[in-house]
Amino acid sequence: MRALVQRVTEASVEVEGRPIGRIGPGLLVLACAMRGDDEAMAQKLAVRVARLRIFGDEAGRMNRSLIDMGGGALVVSQFTLAADTRSGNRPGFSAAAAPHDGRRLLDCFVDGLRGEGVAVETGQFGAEMKLRLLNDGPATIWLDSADRA
């Protein structure tokens, strides 16, 4: 799985003008299941996100995790993270997991975050969504649960 993690002071998601998820300080996580991913990869990525030390400590150093600071996570499915842009001007998305696998693995990822004690809000899988966020830092980190060529 892949995730683009952004430290935020607040973030929200809406579908058809209706708010469906909102967090205060924490992480906005754009997540994508890739072909060949499994539940173990989703769990591994959840643990990495929950324990990623990108929040400031008393000295202002990135030394605290989402768990340490008691923040929330807004998880939004983002199949475009699977984009292949190596040739041409139109990205290809064949590396993304099929929709039924993607939904199952995203749910597993969310369950893994909750299992780490993180309060999680989510977007709506497969929907057109509008995101609002106030990026903190900015601090944006790219994570991948597997090495890919």
Residues contacting 3, CB < 8 A, separation 6+: 29, 30, 31, 32, 45, 49, 81, 142, 143, 144
- Does the annotation mark 109 as catalytic? no
| Tokens linked to 140 | 């944006």
Nearest by Cα to 133 from 26, 32, 51: 26
- Does the annotation mark 125 as catalytic? no
Helix (H) or strand (E) holding 101: helix 99-115
Residues contacting 107, CB < 8 A, separation 6+: none
Q: Helix or strand or coil: residue 69?
A: helix
- The number of beta carbons lying within 10 Å of the beta carbon of residue 68 is 13
- Does the annotation mark 6 as catalytic? no
The catalytic position among 6, 43, 55, 79 is 79
List residues with catalytic annotation: 78-80
